[in-house]
């Protein structure tokens, strides 16, 4: 005799193939940007859902383990891609997508890319300590190591400027850069 959970699970309708394909495609896009495919798949399910999504929804709909969902939720919450919603009727945590995509992107830049540039800067400073004759023996020069440092500094300045855009209302820019205007060849960049 099937358990109550099995009956409930079998009563749930399987996701349509086009929705699964969309989740896979967004997952691939997220992988391109250095995240995991599961992050994109979970985002699609949460974004399309009319109500906050619980852990079990991800597990059942994507056929993945609770451990994978838990680790992915931790990442998505850290970067504020997901926001924790109120607890469900049984006290379970539920999640919604952060509706402010600009905030999400800027937070990822701040939390991940800016930190990585700092690590590169530190490695460049350590490389700068290698004696010039040792560098010359490898066919390298101190000048080129210094140029790496200059590039990192410029990248950090640009990233700080981009992150600073978070305090600006980008609503008008978003309207100007709408997908319709870009696709029709007018009004875009």
**pLDDT (tens digit per residue) in 11-70:** 457 889 999 999 999 999 999 988 999 999 999 999 999 999 999 999 999 999 999 999
The band of 185, judged by pLDDT with boundaries at 50, 70 and 90, is low
Q: Please say if the pLDDT value at position 7 is more than 50.
A: no
Tokens of 155: 């990248």
Q: Report yes or no: 47 and 26 within 8 Å, Cβ to Cβ.
A: no
- What are the Cα distances from residue 104, in Å, to 1, 112, 166, 173? 46, 12, 10, 17
Predicted confidence at residue 177, as pLDDT, reads 59
**pLDDT category, 106, cuts 50, 70, 90?**
confident
Instruction: Name the more confident of 186 and 46.
Output: 46
Mean pLDDT of the chain: 85
Higher-pLDDT residue of 152 and 186 is: 152
The separation between CA 56 and the C-alpha centre of its own chain, rounded to angstroms, equals 22
What is the pLDDT, as a whole number, of residue 10? 45
């Amino acid at each position: 005799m099937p358990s109550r959970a099995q009956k409930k699970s079998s009563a749930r309708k399987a996701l349509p193939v086009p929705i699964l394909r969309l989740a896979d495609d967004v997952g691939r896009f997220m992988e391109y940007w250095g995240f995991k495919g599961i992050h994109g798949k979970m985002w699609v399910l949460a974004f399309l859902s009319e109500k906050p999504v619980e852990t079990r929804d991800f597990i059942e709909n994507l056929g993945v383990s609770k451990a994978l969902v838990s680790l992915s939720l931790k990442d998505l919450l850290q970067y504020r891609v997901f926001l924790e919603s109120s607890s469900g009727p049984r006290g379970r945590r539920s999640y919604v997508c952060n509706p402010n995509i600009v905030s999400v992107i800027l937070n990822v830049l701040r939390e991940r890319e800016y930190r990585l540039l700092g690590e590169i800067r530190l490695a460049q400073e350590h490389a700068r300590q290698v004696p010039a004759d040792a560098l010359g023996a490898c066919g390298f020069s101190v000048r080129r190591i210094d140029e790496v440092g200059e590039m990192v500094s410029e990248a950090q300045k640009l990233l700080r400027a981009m992150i600073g855009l978070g305090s600006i209302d980008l609503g008008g820019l978003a309207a100007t850069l709408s997908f319709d205007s870009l696709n029709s060849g007018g009004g875009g960049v």
